[in-house]
Amino acid sequence: MKKGFIKLDTSEFNLNHTFSSGQIFRWKKYNSDWVGLCYSSLVALKRIGGYLYYKVEGDIDESKLKEFLGLDQNYEEIKEAICEDPLVKNLYNKYKGLRVLKQNKRECLISYLSVSFNNIKRANQMLENLSKFSNRKLKLGDLQAYDYPTFAELKKINEKTLKKIGYGFRSSYIISLLKKFENDEELEELDKMPTKELEKNLMRIKGVGIKTASCVSLYSYSRFESIPIDRWIAKVLKLFYKDYFSNSILEKFKSNYWEIREVLNKIFNNYGGYAQLFLYKFARDSLKSL
């Protein structure tokens, strides 16, 4: 087990806001720590004043951990870009320190294939079931979890087995992923592409539409102009951005995705994906009854 302290150069980093925002799976609050998996590691995090205390079992080093947490981002530039909008400025202050994480690409893609037409609780359980096919059981104190399976391990699982562990029709999505990509290196290669081309390549996988592609592009490739748009974001736009979008556009937000994305990136100075996370957390926290 590795452990240490990361000195935080800013007060604008909040574990609770970041890990409760819905952007990542298999993370939970355990006593006063946030604990979860990333980059083939089981990690526990706790903020202590101006420091972040971490415990790690696995491969991730401190530099990669800082990158994962978004601590290497130009947060001042992001803040300036998105806070020109009055609503997001208020949400920035409400959720100060919320960061877009940079997740492992395979882990992120598997996660978003699992949550497709699903809820977060059930997706987490499916991911736990799938991860039991990994040969790496990670232990951190009295906590333990299986790592996400590698491409090689996934290839040993057939569609029938995937259905048995709860994947149902999503089983074919995992099989399609394995047909389109052979290994982690091929997912890394996509990072050389412009954002739209990257997303189109992800959409070659069965079950990956523009929303899922945008999630993976934003949360693992750090393409901050990628904007996942779902019913929560459509609801926020209907209530607070009437000057920019008609109801007819938002009622068919899936077919009008690119038009909506272009406008949002103008509003948020090409950080529309980052602004989206503040809006999404606000919608899930405050607009459930509407």
What pLDDT is attached to residue 86? Answer: 98
Both 8 and 45 in one domain: the answer is yes
Both 56 and 118 in one domain: the answer is no
Tokens representing 67 are: 């990158």
Q: How many CB atoms lie within 10 A of CB 80?
A: 12
Within a domain: 54: yes
Both 175 and 253 in one domain: the answer is no
Rounded mean pLDDT of 118-139?
94
Both 204 and 279 in one domain: the answer is no
Both 66 and 33 in one domain: the answer is yes
Whole-model pTM: value is: 0.96
Q: How many CB atoms lie within 10 A of CB 194?
A: 9
Rounded mean pLDDT of 141-168?
95
193, 105 Cβ separation under 8 angstroms: no
What pLDDT is attached to residue 126? Answer: 95
Tens-digit pLDDT profile for residues 7-19: 998 778 999 999 9
Rounded mean pLDDT of 105-127?
93
Within a domain: 44: yes
Q: Is the pLDDT of residue 114 over 70?
A: yes
Tens-digit pLDDT profile for residues 209-222: 999 999 999 999 99
DSSP state of 194: -
**Rounded-to-integer distance, Cα 255 and Cα 260, Å:** 10
Answer with the one of 188, 221, 254 that is the final residue of a domain: 221
Q: Which three-class secondary structure state does DSSP give residue 59? A: coil
Q: Is the pLDDT of residue 147 over 70?
A: yes
Tens-digit pLDDT profile for residues 67-108: 999 999 999 999 999 999 999 999 999 999 999 999 999 999
DSSP state of 134: S
151, 183 Cβ separation under 8 angstroms: yes
Please state the domain count of the chain.
Answer: 3
290 confidence band (pLDDT: 50, 70, 90): low
Burial 53-69 (b: 16+ CB within 10 A, else e): ebbbbbebeeebbbbbb
Q: How many CB atoms lie within 10 A of CB 120?
A: 13
Q: Is the pLDDT of residue 118 over 90?
A: no
Q: Is the pLDDT of residue 289 over 80?
A: no
Answer with the one of 29, 56, 73 that is the final residue of a domain: 73
Both 119 and 159 in one domain: the answer is yes
119 confidence band (pLDDT: 50, 70, 90): confident
What does the DSSP assignment read for 267-289? HTTT-HHHHHHHHHHHHHHH-TT
Range(s) of the domain holding residue 266? 231-286
Q: Determine which of 121-130, 228-237, 280-289 has the lowest per-residue pLDDT on average.
A: 280-289
Tens-digit pLDDT profile for residues 236-285: 999 999 999 999 999 999 999 999 999 999 999 999 999 999 999 999 99
